[in-house]
Chain A
Amino acid sequence: MAMHLFSKSLLGLIVENSCLMQQKTFSLSAVAAAIQKMTRVRVVDNSTLGSTGYRRPPRVIHVYTKNGIGKVGDKVLLAIKGQKKAALIVGHKMPGKPMTPRFDSNNVVLLEENGNPTGTRIKVPLPTHLRKLEGDYSKVLAIANSFV
């Protein structure tokens, strides 16, 4: 795949796609502050809602914290396939505390209303400091395959 050079700026960058991709221009901004409204996230469990293809990637529409910034262990509200779903953040691109892992994608695990995870397995590694945080994370850690 041919790589085109693209210029970066603080506001955003316009990408010229190669012939294999569709002719869609969109802007990417630099990593600003972990996960907030309108961030596109990656669903990492094996739920049908998260795995089947979608035209538009799942976006965060609300972050359940005091400020609107979501870090690892925070609950968010996603819009997936035209429906609202609660989810838990298990990794983000923004660097966190020292000696905590930083992920290459903003990972999220879908949750039901009662707090049970929607999927049954998680292949992606989860951070181990999730266990020490305040909140109900044992269920998500129980269905995880690997830890980082």
Chain B
Amino acid sequence: MNIFTRINALLCQSRVLLEHTSVLTRVFSGPKVLNRHDSTNLASRPLIHRTSVYHILSKRCFSDVDAGRRNSTTSSDVLPAESQKPESDFNDNRHLSQRPAQTFTLDVLVSMLRQENAEEICVIKIPEHIKYAQYLIVVSGISPRHLRAMALYAVKVHKFLKEDHHFHVKIEGKAAEDWLCIDFGNMVVHFMLPETRDVYELEKLWTLRSYDEQLRRMPDEKLPEDFIFDLGDDKL
């Protein structure tokens, strides 16, 4: 039962740390946890990129985003000051100097969610053998309107920061008011209300995988009474 105690300890720690972002990895890849924390730590990255992102993200409306960007890029030495056009130039033929200094990574997304006052951000690294995505992020919100606003803002930031090879992103679950979902290719974000989160318990499933208690509570499948073992249909 060593694995269970360690997983439980990890979960307890992460519950405590859920205010600030925590990354749950498999127990086997223990050393990676520290790296993750370091990379999400604000102070370790060069400050220029951080401030540029925050200047972008602190403004709310679209025109203000660009105003903020122009202001911030004057401060950075990578991009020239005045030669930028406003938001009409948003396709691939942007000049290299006009491209944003960041790509849309996990750090950008998490810092954006923190800024949006998202509660209980939980980032889970999906193991390699599950060919789904790399990271699963579960986020709670205060109200359905809050969730919707966060989702729309995430899409907006993604559109702004995406590269040519990234696809456009769709918000799934717009008909539901308590669970929205965005699939960013290598990351999947779930925006849920706390009640919905307790019902589905996605973090438990994706960290514990087959040891999850809801899966264990499911009764084993039994063959129905009128089952017929049919051999002949396979034409393979």
Q: B179 contacts the other chain (Cβ, under 8 Å)?
A: yes
A137 to B188, CA, bound (A): 12
A143: contacting residue among B183, B202, B217, CB under 8 A: B202
Interchain nearest-CB distance for A95 vs B (Å): 8
Q: Which residues of B contact A93 (CB under 8 A)?
A: 233
A8 within 8 A of B: yes
- As a 0/1 sequence over residues 168 to 208 of chain B, the CB contacts with chain A under 8 angstroms (1 = contact) are 00001101111101110000101000001001111001100
B90 contacts chain A at the CB level, 8 A cutoff: no
Chain A residues closer than 8 Å to B190, beta-carbon distance: 138-139, 142
Taking a contact as CB atoms under 8 Å apart, the answer to whether B132 and A147 are in contact is: yes
From the candidates A8, A123, A139, A145, name the one contacting B232 in the complex (CB within 8 A): A8
**Stretch in B10-18, B26-34, B110-118, B218-226 with 4+ CB within 8 Å of A:** B218-226
A115 touches B173 (CB 8 A): yes
Contact partners of B218 in chain A: CB under 8 A: 46, 51, 121, 123
A131-B183, A139-B173 known; A51 and B219 CB under 8 Å?
yes
Q: How many residues from B make CB contacts under 8 Å with A?
A: 40
Size band of the interface chain A makes with B: 20 to 34
Q: Is B212 an interface residue (CB 8 A)?
A: yes
Q: In the complex where A24-B226, A139-B181, A142-B188 touch, is A121 in contact with B214 (Cβ < 8 A)?
A: yes
> In the complex, are the beta carbons of A136 and B181 less than 8 A apart?
yes
Q: Is B63 an interface residue (CB 8 A)?
A: no
Complex formed: what's the CA distance from A20 to B224 in Å? Answer: 12
Selected contact of B200 from candidates A8, A120, A138, CB within 8 Å: A120
Interface 1/0s, chain A 76-99, versus B by CB < 8 A? 000000000000000001010000
A3 sits at the interface (CB 8 A): yes
A63 shortest CB reach to chain B, Å:
20
Is A33 on the interface with B (CB-CB < 8 A)?
A: no
Closest-CB distance, B181 to chain A (whole angstroms): 4
Contact of B230 among A22, A28, A141 (CB under 8 A): A28
Chain B residues within 8 Å of A17, by CB: 226
The digit string for B82-98, where 1 denotes a CB below 8 A from any CB of A, is 00000000000000000
A112, closest chain B residue (CB): B176
The answer to whether the Cβ of A65 comes within 8 Å of any Cβ in the partner chain is no
Smallest distance from the beta carbon of A85 to chain B beta carbons, Å? 16
A to B CB contacts below 8 Å, 20 in the list: A17-B226, A24-B226, A30-B233, A46-B217, A46-B218, A112-B176, A116-B173, A116-B178, A116-B196, A120-B201, A121-B215, A123-B218, A123-B221, A136-B181, A138-B181, A139-B172, A139-B179, A139-B181, A139-B190, A145-B205
Q: Which residues of B contact A (CB under 8 A)?
A: 130-132, 136, 172-173, 175-179, 181-183, 188, 190, 196, 199-202, 205-206, 209-210, 212, 214-215, 217-219, 221, 225-226, 228-230, 232-233, 236
The 9 closest A-B pairs by CB, nearest first: A136-B172, A114-B176, A138-B181, A46-B218, A114-B175, A121-B214, A115-B175, A138-B172, A116-B176
Residues of A participating in the B interface, judged by any CB pair closer than 8 Å: 3, 8, 15, 17, 20-22, 24, 28, 30-31, 46, 51, 93, 95, 112-116, 120-121, 123, 128, 131, 136-139, 141-143, 145, 147
